[in-house]
Chains A and B, each alone.
Chain A
Amino acid sequence: MNETALKRTILYGEHAALGAKLVPFAGYEMPVQYPTGILTEHNWTRTSAGLFDVSHMGQAFLVGPDHATTAAAMEKLVPADIASLKPHQIRYSQFLNPEGGILDDLMITRSAYAGYDGWLYIVCNASRKDEDFAHIEKNLPPNVKLQRGADMALIALQGPKAEAALAKLAPAVRDIPFMYYAGISIDGIQAHVSRSGYTGEDGFEISVFDKDAVRLWQMLLANPDVKPIGLGARDSLRLEAGLCLYGHDIDETTSPVEADLLWSIQKRRRNEGGFIGAARVQKEIASGAKRKRVGIKPEGRAPAREGTVVTDASGRPIGIITSGGFGPTANGPVAMGYVETAFATAGTAVQLIVRGQPMPAQIIALPFVPHNYKR
């Protein structure tokens, strides 16, 4: 991509002022790290509270006459149970292609705002939002419309001190359960506060209008427990938490069953199908998938990166690493990837071919670092 074509979020000036190293990401100029560096930022998020600008992500609404109608339209597009969502509730799901491959993963929220029955709020990946929105519009019935979020920012506050930090400004956030949202005023700022995130820690994802984003960012950073965190630490945090990164751990060739995301497909949908890509998903539920996403723990200190070939003891290739690096909290190399299902059991010994040399590793149950969600 031409550098002059890079977009900036409304918080760009804040990142620059904080001394962030800015890199192109999904068409945006985003902070990969601030001056303290990725390790410090990672550890800060695990022990205190990290602040992330994720305004590049896609925010949009599906708008229909009532929840049942909008939910039915969404259920054509995703394998999650949307009809049974309670007001305020959030679910993780995926858009699938007709072959059952993953087009993107996303969060879906049922609105409970007065006068907004029949509204679903979605958050999808920055790198996929244009394709997602086109895919949605192509597959909606006439009485349900896609409305792109306009002038909206998204700020994540993650970590064991996230609740206390946000509650200082808006005590009501303490009462939001994991995977629910509340519409809350934060010092006069109209905020949509979701208890969710991408780090494995407790925390919030806060959607506000662009006009309020800088003030909210600065208010949160005024708390000494809160520090800004870039995309570098966001990646190591989510990898330790076993969470997928689109375009790496999941893509159009991987199905939700292969990706070990069956937990995100509720029972009614598994049985009934009725979503794009259902044939492959239901077949794999019934008779198993050929490969499976697993956690992989290299035994030495050397990280094994994306693209590393996984072999069995005899050297036969059985899979590939899709995300790999160093886990600061795990204090060692961490990876995930796909292996043939016969090798997907935790404890299985495998080899990783790093710079031409076989390196011992073990299949492990994800996550590497236990989730710290507030259930």
Chain B
Amino acid sequence: MSVKFSKDHEWVSLAGDIATIGITNHAQEQLGDVVFVELPAVGKKVTKGGDAAVVESVKAASEVYAPVTGEVVEVNKELEGDPALVNRGAEGDGWFMKIKISNPAEINELMDKAAYDKFVASL
């Protein structure tokens, strides 16, 4: 199972039709210490490129966009009590939500790891 990446610095890991979504390690480094994460309600429909969550560092609030279209089926409740988990494990335990995707073709529009790394290096 491969992980794909968006230009907005989200990662997507697909298993069947369930996409696990989080922010990239690069994103958490840029944000700094995460102090609050606002997650969507389970059942919420999200659209590729639309607002899905908010992550706040000491410095600022940042939107997290849905990298794929679908319905939120689970959120990472650990982040409510321990938002710093995003810093410690952005691309692992610090995942944000799981989305049941409605348009599998969208996955192919995302970058693979090599392309994302190249994109970050170009910033």
Contacts and interface: CB of A to CB of B under 8 A. Distances in A.
B116 interface: no
Interface string A27-59: 000001100011110100000000000000000
Contact of B56 (A38, A232, A326): A326
Interface stretch (A79-87, A184-192, A300-308): A300-308
Contact of A326 (B54, B58, B80): B58
With a 10 A CB-CB cut-off, give which of B32, B33, B36, B58 has the most chain A CB atoms.
B58
A303 B33 contact: no
Interface in A301-327: 301-303, 305, 325-326
B36 A301 contact: yes
Interface string B72-110: 000000001000000000000000000000000000000
A236 B57 CA distance: 12
A303 B32 contact: no
Nearest to B58: A38
Given A38-B59, A303-B35, 4 more contacts: A301-B35, A303-B36, A303-B61, A326-B58
Contacts of B58: 38-39, 42, 232-233, 236, 325-326, 328
Interface string B43-59: 00000000000101111
A301 B35 CA distance: 8
Contact of B32 (A37, A305, A355): A37
A207 B32 CA distance: 31
B123 interface: no
B56 A39 contact: no
Interface size range of chain A in the complex: 10 to 19
A104 B35 CA distance: 31
Contacts of A325: 58-59
A37 B33 contact: yes
B114 interface: no
Contacts, number: 42
Interface string A235-267: 010000000000000000000000000000000
Interface of A: 32-33, 37-40, 42, 232-233, 236, 301-303, 305, 325-326, 328, 333, 355
Nearest to B38: A302
A328 B56 CA distance: 13
Interface in B15-37: 32-33, 35-36
B84 to A, nearest CB: 8
B85 to A, nearest CB: 14
Contacts of B36: 301-303, 326, 333
14 contacts: A38-B33, A38-B59, A39-B33, A232-B32, A232-B58, A236-B58, A301-B35, A302-B56, A303-B56, A305-B60, A325-B58, A326-B35, A326-B36, A333-B36
Contacts of B80: 301
B77 to A, nearest CB: 13
A40 B32 CA distance: 11
